[in-house]
Structure 1
Amino acid sequence: MGMLRVMSRRGDDRLTWDEQKALVKDPEALAAVREAERIFEQERSKGATAFRIETGKPAQRIDKFDATAEQIIMVPRVVGG
């Protein structure tokens, strides 16, 4: 299972997808992956930073959506004032 988490003032919004079902072209799984990729690109265009999280490994900054990631966390740009 993959998960995209987008941090916000409300906490975090989550979207999940089943990578195995997506590999066999399950329409629902493919739709979830497309939506996660759309949100990823939208957040990146606003300046968010993305991190790939894998159990037992250090977080890795990424610039492109990876449907095989266990978890992707999007951190919005921090604006001072």
Structure 2
Amino acid sequence: MGFFGAYAVTGSNGIFALGDYKQQIAAHERQYQQLDQQRTMLRNRVALLDPRHANPDLVDELVRKELNVAHPDEVIIPLK
């Protein structure tokens, strides 16, 4: 009986492990929130690229980025 009682307190699923589980849950919830924000941002960008009514500013940005082109009168400021 003593062994089972000690294992219930100090075992891998015991009372002492409860704090670690709570920390893991909190870390996973933070990660989930970050992923949810990224998903929302990507969903918005996809909606802006809808072929029926694409956002001209976003299309222009993507074309310039992919083709590496600029107008002669534009000033390019590189970002780190």
TM value normalised by structure 1:
0.31
Question: More strand per residue: 1 or 2?
Answer: 1
**Structure with more relative contact order (C-alpha pairs < 8 Å, separation 6 or more):** 1
Q: TM-score, normalised by structure 2?
A: 0.32
